[in-house]
Amino acid sequence: MLEKEVTILLSKVLKQPGGKNYKQIVDIMLEINTPIICVKKSSQNKRIMPFKSLYDSNENFWQQDSSWEYSLAKESLDKIKEEVIARKGSWIDDIDIETNEKNNAKPNPKTNDKDIEKLEVQVGYGSEYKNFADMSTPEKVDRLNKNKQKLNELLALKNKDTEVITEALVDTTKDAALINHTALVDAIRLGDDEAKKLTQDVVDSTHEMVKSSAMLLTSDIFNNELINTLVKKSNGTIVQHMTRVYIHGIAFLSYYNNLVSTSSAIQKLRISFQARKSKYRDFYHKLLPHVDLDELSLERVFYGGMRAIPRDDYFKWAVGFLIHDIGKAANVEYHEGEASYDRNIVIDHVKQGYKSVMNKTNYPMEASLIIGYHHEYYGDPAGYGFFRAFLQQYKKQNPEAHQDYCISYDLEPVLDYHVLAYFPAKVLEIIDVYDSVTDPNRVYRKAMTPEEALAMMREDFIEKHHKLDYVLFDIFDSFIREQQKHLNK
Ligand SMILES: [Fe+2]
Ligand SMILES: [Fe+2]
């Protein structure tokens, strides 16, 4: 039960941009990353968001976004006041302190009391981690099934409300990520067979939930505004990253499928390959140096030819996207530039994730491969090189063998080393990089805008180095630009 929750409206603290003390207070709030209590006016749904992430996405969010009410706790205000005085600034004494009595009398059931008590910016797997770790397996399965039902109900509705759907997608994806991580932590101590038994129901229910959520995401309700809202809801935890990557991943696959099946896109790409000074041919020649330059074509990039993705694969890949960073330990720093950042530990999440999902669960092999191969960067030294190690071993045993193709849609050519990469893992690499550089809660550097991110990725990950796939990146580029076009309308 919440007692005497003393909150101050952010508009009373900041007043007008340019006003007295404004810049100093903003700087202090950015520095200490003040937790902001955000209350959705229509639903009274409450979330705690770091000031920096809200400010980075819109510097005047507290004035311009009228559907939310933004406030901060008395203790946060005291901290700011202390800092202002320490910096010899003058404090505004007319800030009214308001006791939010309505919320005190009746705490909203959607509010997580613990979040409000702690008022800390979430890191790692977030403050909800413990609640999920304490759940029994049947409780976890029950939650997944209820979430699936919730999504199916939304899918069946005639008049779909984007906001309700966004909330549902974020919440159900977040639950699934936490449930899977905590289930795997329990399973890891067991022998493989026992572990598979323990995780079986969670695996089945997650798979079913993912089907419902993927269907919702590819239904006509899906729009670009939804992605933008999802990104704004980020609070910097690994779970939120996985949520965004999952949703972006499905959206991209859907865009890709429409593109290759309804337009002359493949034909256009083929023509680009044939051009005398083809950017693609030069790029792929560096990846497949033993293939004659004239022979480089779209068919060399995609094993068996470029094609749409069947529904069944789609769902399996979606599970892989959802749990792609599951090998990350809950208490490790993943932000480059932070004092405790350790690259070796970070690299390890790929191996740990692959091994545990492969050996301790019955998730399809597609999901394990996505997890294991999502930081390969076509063999660039900056990649984590998990697949590369297998490949080198294979090459030692088969010195004559070489890869004649870049990407496979199916497992077999990857497992037989006929190709350099696995399609969904290559897609995930792009989305993963994009998500991390545009994450509004990036601590060590300001988040990039979509345009900045695309330009940087093209320069550093395609032109200077050959990390991402060129054709897939060009499709991703048009996918993001399309999204932005809708948003700016
Ligand atoms: Fe990762
Ligand atoms: Fe990731």
Q: Measured over all CA atoms, what is the biggest interatomic distance in the chain, rounded to whole angstroms? A: 79
> How far, in Å, is the centroid of ligand 2 from the Cα of 299?
29
Distance 324 CA to ligand 2 centre (A): 6
Ligand 1 centre from 72 Cα, in Å? Answer: 33
pLDDT band at 82, cuts 50/70/90?
Answer: confident
CA 431 to ligand 2 center in whole angstroms:
8
Looking at residues 129-133, what average pLDDT do you find?
A: 85
Residue 443 banded pLDDT, cuts 50, 70, 90: low
The domains of the chain are located at 6-121, 228-488
* Fold of domain 228-488: Hypothetical protein af1432 (1.10.3210)
| d(CA 174, ligand 2 centre) in Å | 14
Mean pLDDT on 226-242: 68
Q: Is residue 211 over pLDDT 60?
A: yes
CA of 343 to the centre of ligand 2 (A): 14
> If you measure from the C-alpha of residue 251 to the centroid of ligand 2, how many angstroms do you get, rounded to a whole number?
16
pLDDT > 70? residue 16: no
The pTM assigned to this predicted structure is 0.74
40 three-class SS: strand
In whole angstroms, give the CA distance from residue 210 to residue 204: 10
What is the SS3 string spanning 192-212?
A: HHHHHHHHHHHHHHHHHHHHH
Residues 218-239 have a mean pLDDT of: 65
Nearest to 191 by CA among 199, 179, 181: 199
The top-scoring range by mean pLDDT among 287-291, 338-342, 378-382, 471-475 is 471-475
Place of tokens 């706790």: 73
Q: How confident is residue 432, by pLDDT bands cut at 50, 70 and 90?
A: very high
Q: What is the number of the ligand closest to the CA of 322?
A: 2
Judge residue 12's burial from the number of C-beta atoms within 10 Å of its C-beta, 0-12 exposed, 13-18 middle, 19 or more buried.
middle
Give distance in angstroms: CA of 374 to centre of ligand 2.
Answer: 8
- The mean per-residue pLDDT over the stretch 28-47 comes to 77
346 C-alpha to ligand 1 centroid (Å): 8
Going 255 to 260 to 262 to 265, the CA torsion angle's sign is positive
* The pLDDT of residue 375: 93
Ligand found nearest the CA of 439: 2
Q: Which residue has the higher pLDDT, 121 or 386?
A: 386
Model confidence at 409, pLDDT cuts 50, 70, 90, reads: very high
What's the pLDDT at 264?
87
- 223 — pLDDT class (breaks 50, 70, 90): low
- For position 118, what pLDDT does the model report? 35
Which residues have C-beta under 5 Å from ligand 1, the single-atom ion?
A: 325
Q: Is the pLDDT of residue 444 over 80?
A: no
- For residue 280, is pLDDT > 90? yes
pLDDT of 293 reads 87
Ligand nearest to the CA of 241: 2
Place of tokens 């200077």: 464
Most confident of 23-27, 30-34, 257-261: 257-261
Ligand nearest to the CA of 437: 2
Of residues 271 and 128, more confidence is placed in 271
Give the span between the Cα atoms of 131 and 202, in whole angstroms: 16
d(CA 126, ligand 2 centre) in Å:
16
Looking at residue 488, its pLDDT comes to 60
pLDDT at 163: 78
Residues 16, 18, 24, 27: is their CA dihedral positive or negative?
A: positive
pLDDT of 331 over the 60 cut: no
